[in-house]
Structure 1
């Protein structure tokens, strides 16, 4: 049975080398030339994106990054018990940590965390100095009052 004039090989003359187009000498066995891979997962999948993964850096394939500590508890306690003005600055800085982290400003969140820590420590130091001076003042006051008090002898 014949299907018409097929000539020498059916679908026309084949080029020398076997057909399907000329393959570049890739040494990999065909399917086109693969781009040189500098890593990845063992194939020509293109360049893999760099992963961050450092502290305060997005990306990476490990556990998700956690936001830096906002120091809010220490800021509130030092505001209440130590130094009100410096504590308020600390509360403002600590409230900026989570908001900056949520919008993707990772470095800004880390910086706000460090500033909040600095301000609550300043508030603590000023508060300690204040309370030491108050106690010294009361001791001196009691000593002066006791020294000047008339003594009664019976």
Structure 2
């Protein structure tokens, strides 16, 4: 595999490959703040997206991008669920 001057991977006979998929890095950083354990999974997958794309493994980079977003959503869901449970616990504890 060769590289163009703009560092975009190329396929010898088909020219430049598709642009890299979104890494969802900002979302992953927010996910770490929301719920750390699942946020770390999101961040790990997010960082992998660019590396896989540069290696020419576009399909794996797309999967890593989807995984990063999925783990971030799980992190946000866990944070909301824990907040609701804690709020209910506090409200019931006051009775």
Give TM-score, length-normalised by structure 1: 0.49
Tell me the equivalent position of 2:4: none
2:22 paired with 1:66: no
Give TM-score, length-normalised by structure 2: 0.77
Tell me the equivalent position of 1:75: 28
Larger Rg: 1
Structure 1 portions without partners, runs of 5+: 1-57, 145-154
| Greater length-normalized contact order (CA 8 Å, ≥ 6 residues apart) | 2
User: Which aligned pairs between 1:32-47 and structure 2 lie closer than 5 A?
Assistant: none
Tell me the equivalent position of 2:90: 138
2:54 paired with 1:102: yes
CA distance in 2, matches of 1:104, 1:60: 12
Looking at secondary structure, tell me which structure has more helix per residue.
2
RMSD: 1.8
Q: Give 1:137 shift.
A: 1.6
Q: Show CA shifts across 1:37-71 (max 9, x none).
A: xxxxxxxxxxxxxxxxxxxxx6468xx63210111
Looking at secondary structure, tell me which structure has more strand per residue.
2
